[in-house]
Amino acid sequence: MQTTNTKRGQFTTKIGIIMASAGSAVGLGNIWRFPYETGENGGAAFILIYLACVLFIGMPIVISEFVIGRRGKVNTSGAFRVLAPGTPWYMVGMLGVLTGIIILGYYTVVAGWTLEYIMQAAIGGFAGKSPADFQSSFVEFSSHSFRPLLWLAIFMFMTHYIVVSGVEKGIERYSKIMMPMLLVIMLVLVGCSISLPGASKGLEFLLKPDFSKVDGSVLMSAMGQAFFSLSIGMGCLCTYSSYFKRDVNLARTALSVVSLDTLVAILAGLIIFPAAFSVNIQPDTGPSLIFVTLPNVFQQAFGSMPILSWVFSVMFYLLLSVAALTSTISLHEVVTAYLKEEFKISRKKAAWIVTLFCLGLGVIASLSLGEWEEAKVFGMSFFDFSDYITTKIMMPIGGILISVFVGWWMDKKDLKDEMMSSGELKKSFFKVFAFVLKYVVPLGIAILFINGMGWM
């Protein structure tokens, strides 16, 4: 007999809640995507714009999604239907579900790469290689037509397994232990990286802004990165907060999640750029950046102590893949919860549909970097296209709609009630929040979007 269908799960502890939400936010977006976007968009100036996007657009949307989810207590689309019955708002949730499906497909490809790198690190595959070797072995691996697909499938099934075993048991337990470990190991790597010869040029790239190269596309990339990294604009945090209890302070939880996410991204930057400049890897090499740069750090920083190099590289890739796993779980959960609750099917069946469909998308995304390189979608590989359409179009649109929904449509009293459910919250904070949500967020996104598309 299946009882899980009627009883919704709940996260049990407050720290577990923060960790699970932060687990969704912290992932490849911070450690893989943030450095290469920063590298491609000119460094420090991009980071400052990114931070502004996180603060003035990201943070209010995180709170809004928490509000929608906890008030609705169902999947994203259902939550809109509960809060705005008889209106087309539920379609915002459906847009989010679609976004989640596309992201899960190509995200898992990269997550699969991290498994290959755990294995390479474990068998000592980095030893004695030069930066050029790392470059060529990455290209060879990622464009191979079988190996990445195998890792992709393994990763997708790991995600599937945890999603099926349920939110409380699966997500919370893993996040609570692994996140702090990841932070510690990253701090050590920052130390290693900035002590490499010639690292100061990398620090300069990170810290000295040059606004002369900032244009509409840099702005839009910064905004897209904020959406991607914080897991917002597609109902991911709505789905998680539907499992929150009422005594959780939503604003404070949002602040913790956003701070942690930003901290990890900055640490990733501090690891990658000093190391990349030290071994003359161009910062704008794109998605391969961390996979080519990091093995050098492990090699050089611990050169005289191979055992340390081994321990750190294995640990790092292991934690990176766990960080990716807590993110793929959250993406998968959005779609699974939607199918399960809207179509009244079992959690298991819903999860299978998601797993197999996204696996298919992942296979296409992976092959689009090798075997199927010639096939282009709007001039991009399917991999790049999936990234582009989600981060730069679908999530910003979702973000506008979510902020308009909570800022303009939702009853002020309900909003206040949700935000103050745990008691204390300063009046002035609420006022500023409501203002930013109503005006700054939707207008800000719209301006960056229109400008970035070159329509203005």
Sites of contact with ligand TRP (CB under 6 A): 24-25, 27-30, 103, 228-229, 231, 234, 236, 327, 330-331
Instruction: Please identify, using beta-carbon distances, which residue of 30 and 242 lies nearer to ligand TRP.
Output: 30
With beta carbons less than 8 A apart as the criterion, state whether 142 and 148 touch: yes
Nearest-CA neighbor of 148 among 185, 109, 174?
A: 109
Instruction: Please identify, using beta-carbon distances, which residue of 37 and 131 lies nearer to ligand TRP.
Output: 37
Q: Whole-angstrom Cα distance, residue 240 to residue 248?
A: 12
- In order of 9, 35, 39, 145, 422, the CA distances from 384 in angstroms are 36, 16, 17, 18, 42
- In order of 212, 218, 337, the CA distances from 164 in angstroms are 49, 39, 11
Q: Minimum CB separation from ligand TRP for residue 440, in Å? A: 21
Beta strands of 212-286 (E only): which ranges? none
- The residue sitting closest to ligand TRP, measured at its beta carbon, is 29
Q: Whole-angstrom Cα distance, residue 199 to residue 196?
A: 5
Q: Minimum CB separation from ligand TRP for residue 362, in Å? A: 15
Q: Whole-angstrom Cα distance, residue 204 to residue 200?
A: 6
Q: By CB neighbour count within 10 A (0-12 exposed, 13-18 middle, 19+ buried), where does 39 fall?
A: buried
Record the tokens describing residue 336, joined without a space: 């699974």
Q: Minimum CB separation from ligand TRP for residue 251, in Å? A: 20
Instruction: Please identify, using beta-carbon distances, which residue of 277 and 316 lies nearer to ligand TRP.
Output: 316
Q: Minimum CB separation from ligand TRP for residue 25, in Å? A: 5
Instruction: Please identify, using beta-carbon distances, which residue of 100 and 444 lies nearer to ligand TRP.
Output: 100
Instruction: Please identify, using beta-carbon distances, which residue of 228 and 298 lies nearer to ligand TRP.
Output: 228
Q: Minimum CB separation from ligand TRP for residue 234, in Å? A: 5
With beta carbons less than 8 A apart as the criterion, state whether 71 and 421 touch: no
Q: Minimum CB separation from ligand TRP for residue 315, in Å? A: 19
Degrees (nearest 5) of the Cα angle 2, 358, 63? 75
